[in-house]
Structure 1
Amino acid sequence: MELTTIWFILIAVLWTGYFVLEGFDFGVGVLLPYVSRDEADRRLVVASIGPVWDGNEVWLLVAGGATFAAFPEWYATLFSGFYLPLFLILLALIARGIALEYRNKSDSTRGWDRTFFWGSLAPAFLWGVAFANIVRGVPLDARHEFTGNLLTLLSPYALLGGVTTLALFTFHGALFLTLRTNGELRQTSARIGRQAGLAAFLAGGLFLLLTQLNDPKPATWVTTVVAAAGIAAALALIGRRDGWAFTANTVAIVAITATLFGGLWPDVMPALDPANSLTVTNASSTPYTLSVMTWVAAIFTPVVLAYQAWTYWVFRRRLTAPRDESPVRQGS
């Protein structure tokens, strides 16, 4: 297998990990005002992702760095053409991180909670818009420079992609909260999760159908996996099998990401005029650069994965909190 193919697959894996892990972070942020009755509930919701949210964002940093090193032409075209949406995502992520760090250090948490909500909702929607445009194709000239504008990126298909990721991540966040909390908060999360799951199933089904009609390369079995996993997640949630529900929805996110990247190959940035498309060949770095990167990835990736797995293992128990202002504690 050529190194360009290997790195395309690795970048797809990195984005998959980011959407799976950061996806429930976004969902928890979106659900904060809807599942919380009081400050004790809000502290519990925030605490559910407190030990892991910043580690989950590392997947985005590595995906961006790998794209820059392995496919610099792809990186340059993507960040110049999608400058405003990516800037808004970056701004939202910064605001979200600040809100998480400072909400417990302030006398009033309302403003920080609103910041956390919008800092979660905006990326959850905009990532879907961005990737829908990448899969559908964008206007590029012969020099692989983006020739469109912001309105070019806001087509109905792209907006549907944003609605799909927002609904899917909200469902993922609800499943995570049912897995990490007890009592009425878990029941409220499960109830909202059923509604979000239906929205994700409808929006995601329509989005995948349009993707298939636009480009027949994505395999039909992948769409079948997405549908089966989504149904399994909903049934498991109804049956109070929280772990199975979260796992099934994770499979659905993995399958959707595989569909998107499978639809791209061998392009990395399809153009409306296929002659101007960026491919794994004309967008890649030199073979020497890819070789060095491969050795570095082979050495350090297992270390990073082991550390993150250990973190999730340590904080695996459900959270409970008394109905007073005492700190959140880990429960069995």
Structure 2
Amino acid sequence: METFLGLDYPTLWFLVVGALFSGYGILDGFDLGAGAMHLFIKGDQNRRIALNAVGPVWDGNEVWLVIGGGTLFAGFPVFYATLFSAMYIPFMLFIMFIILRAISIEFRSKEEMKWWRTMWDVSYSISSGMIAFLLGVVLGNVLKGFPLDSNYEAIEPNLLMFLNPFSILVGLTSLALMMMHGAIYLTLKTEGKLFDKVVKMLEKCMIGFIIMFGILSVFTLIFQPHLAERFKDHPTLFFLPLIAILGIANIPRLARKQKYMQAFVFSSLTFSLLLILVAVQLYPNLLIAPNDPNNSITIYNAAASQKGLGLMLTIAAIGTPLVLAYTFIVYRVFWGKVKLDEHSY
């Protein structure tokens, strides 16, 4: 098996996919969170400001989702096929809410009627919240695993298979994390009375996330003990959850000191650290089969050919800096507090 820097190609591609989804979580996470809390912002002017805080960047943020999905399909086609067929309902709902969210942003301010704007405000907020929730639900099912046969197909999948207590908890925690992330972002983009309102909302979002994270952690240790086995076998890895906990604890400390840019950095790090924990818990598995570990999908039995992975790693090495440069330029251009004009949403 071919290697690079001491790592085999499937492991390298596993890291690439993880990095891309981490980037998506950080970037689209704050605008999904800001959207989920949109209905708690009162007044048409204030809602327009909140909408325009994410208006110039939300579609660019979703580029990371497209690239992440593409790399997953290209690198691990077996896992991609199994996951999307078994999780058909949540993924179709996910696509539906992405469409609703996009048209809500674009249509909301096209007419002056109050009912029109309220309708799209509701659509925008609910769709943003549901996207955040469904992303967590899918992640929860990946961590939990589900029965697979020898052909790596889900055994007797049903419409509500994806809704189980663990995946629902992961979904709610994901939503809480994104709302906290979005509230911090809005503190950087607003001023005056709206800023004061956002700060109060941020306090509630931080409390909500910490509570959900605590409940999920306890539930995982009790009902999903297989996720802690890697840490029991390698105690040195305990520094990862410790760093994650310290990073989360630092967010309210920075917020109280009104260091919102630093708080945003740490909430972004929280996304990355939690996904690193997921990667450590799973590796080398991609999807565990509780009924028969031999049927589990790993990075090796799900990977594309060595030649294909090598070629795609070269393309990723060229394309990733371009995407990062594009993202930096966009955020640099639209940095600062939101000012409404005739071109605003």
TM range (shorter): over 0.9
Q: Give, in whole Å, the separation in 2 of the partners of 1:222 and 1:204.
A: 15
Match of 2:4 in 1: none
**2:158 partner amino acid:** N
- Which one is further off, 83-92 or 243-252? 243-252
Count of residue pairs the alignment pairs up: 324
Amino acid at match of 2:104: A
Q: Counterpart in 2 of 1:85?
A: 90
Residue 171 of structure 1: CA displacement? Answer: 0.6
Paired position in structure 2 for 1:46: 51
Aligned to 2:152: 144
Is 251-260 or 279-288 further displaced after alignment?
251-260
Distance (Å, rounded) in 1 between the aligned partners of 2:343 and 2:270: 32
Q: Does 1:223 align with 2:231?
A: no
Give the 5 Å matches for 1:93-242.
93-107=98-112, 108-147=116-155, 148-212=157-221, 213-216=225-228, 217=230, 219-242=237-260
Amino acid of the structure 2 residue aligned with 1:204 = F
SS of residue paired to 1:268? strand
The match for 2:276 is 258
Structure 1 runs, 4 residues or longer, greater than 4 Å off: 326-329
User: Shift of residue 140 of structure 1?
Assistant: 0.9
Paired letter, 1:240: Q
Kindly provide the amino acid, as one letter, of the partner of residue 267 in structure 1.
N
TM-score, with normalisation over the residues of structure 2?
0.90
Q: Which runs of 5+ in 1 are unaligned?
A: none
Contact 1:27 1:169 in 2 (8 A): yes
Superposition TM-score, scaled by structure 1 size: 0.94
243-252 vs 209-218, which deviates more?
209-218
The gaps in structure 2 that reach 5 residues or longer are 1-6, 232-236
Deviation string, structure 1 residues 247-275 (Cα, Å, up to 9, x no partner) = 11111111111111221100111111211
* Distance across 2 between alignment mates of 1:141 and 1:225: 38
Change (3 A) 1:45 1:276: same
What is the CA–CA distance in structure 1 between the aligned matches of 2:330 and 2:159, rounded to whole Å?
A: 40
Question: In 2, distance between residues paired with 1:13 and 1:289?
Answer: 19
Residue identity opposite 1:17 in structure 2: G
User: CA-atom RMSD, angstroms?
Assistant: 1.5
8 Å CA contact 1:89–1:123 kept in 2: the answer is yes
The residue type equivalent to 1:25 in the other structure is: D
Instruction: Describe the SS at the equivalent of 1:153.
Output: coil
| Paired residues for 1:46-65 under 5 Å | 46-65=51-70
SS at match of 1:215: helix
Q: Deviations over 1:168-227 (max 9, x none)?
A: 101111000011111111111111111111111121133234445332225422222222
Decide whether the 8 Å contact of 1:124 with 1:166 is kept in 2: yes
**For residue 17 of structure 1, what is the aligned residue in structure 2?**
23
Distance 1:261 1:138 in 2: 18
Q: Quick one: which of 6, 22, 28 aligns to 2:12? A: 6
With 230-239 and 171-180 compared, the bigger mean Cα shift is at: 230-239
Task: After TM superposition, give the deviation of residue 126 of structure 1 in Å.
Answer: 0.9
Q: How does 1:260-299 map to 2 (within 5 A)?
A: 260-272=278-290, 273-299=292-318
Quick check: 2:189–2:337 contact (8 Å CA) kept in 1? yes
